Structure 1
Amino acid sequence: MSTQAKRATIYFDPDIHKALKIKSLETSRSITDLVNQAVKEALSDDVEDILSFEERKNEPLISYDQMVKKLRKDGRI
């Protein structure tokens, strides 16, 4: 790791822990590396969602009822 790592205690479901140990052995990567990568990917997904929400924040809101009526009027349902 390129920066000073922080220590944390994480409790895994026993089956998840077993799967992590197996993947760690098969990929020659530590459980720490696997968990860090998974967390980075989850955070990256969150960033993409936030950016999408920000891009659409000025779009007009439409209720479910209005949307269904519009879809019916347009012949889509």
Structure 2
Amino acid sequence: MPPRLPHVLAGAALLGLVAGGLFFQDLGRYPLSDPDEARHAEVAREMVVAHGWQRLVLPTFELQSYREKPPGH
């Protein structure tokens, strides 16, 4: 019997492509709808561009400490 591994991998790849297409088809189509979403996005952006480990632990908003919600909430 021939090995079935290539068929299984091809099926998994096809399933992954279809699932990815369905998941990402509307990405970026709708703007941020909640007024707080823009603030949370800015906090995340500042954490990405900041240098040093403290910015990963202590988020900031407009260069001031942002502690509206506890970590992990």
TM score, norm. by length of structure 2: 0.40
When you count strand as a share of all residues, which structure comes out higher? 2
Higher relative contact order (CA 8 A, sep 6+): 2
When you count helix as a share of all residues, which structure comes out higher? 1
Greater radius of gyration (CA): 1
